[in-house]
Amino acid sequence: MQKIHHKAEQAKLSITDYVTRCCLGKQITVIEGLDEVVRQQKAIGRNLNQLTTLANMGRIRAVYLEELTQQYGQVSSLLSDILTRRRWNDGSR
């Protein structure tokens, strides 16, 4: 029971939610520090959307974001790869 409690705590789920997901065969993945990376990724995306809106409104003339959008895409791809590898490599729940 202590092991289940610990795993539910790591997944930031109640014991009921954790056990329910396990029983339904749902994948539970916990990657430390990923919350902060995702938060920053979302903030960058919001900023890009705001710049795009301003450019479309004519409030700014030129925005050179080619390098930034490439890097944003690379980070997104890496996050996706991390999650995919974690799903395939982690047989435990």
* pTM score: 0.49
Residue with tokens 């902060």: 36
**H or E element at residue 18:** helix 15-23
Confidence band for 93, pLDDT divided at 50, 70 and 90: very low
Q: What pLDDT does 16 receive?
A: 92
Collapsed DSSP state (helix, strand, coil) of residue 62: coil
Rounded Cα–Cα distance for residues 38 and 84 (Å): 15
Q: What pLDDT does 55 receive?
A: 87
Residue 19 tokens read as 């056990």
Rounded Cα–Cα distance for residues 29 and 11 (Å): 7
Q: What pLDDT does 59 receive?
A: 92
pLDDT, tens only, 18-67: 899 889 888 777 777 777 788 888 888 888 889 889 988 999 887 777 87
> Does residue 11 surpass a pLDDT of 80?
yes
Query: What count of Cα atoms within 13 Å lies in the side-chain half-sphere of residue 71?
Result: 7
Q: Which long-range contacts (CB under 8 A, 24 or more apart) does 22-25 make?
A: 22/93
Q: What is the average per-residue pLDDT within 68-87? A: 77
Confidence band for 80, pLDDT divided at 50, 70 and 90: confident
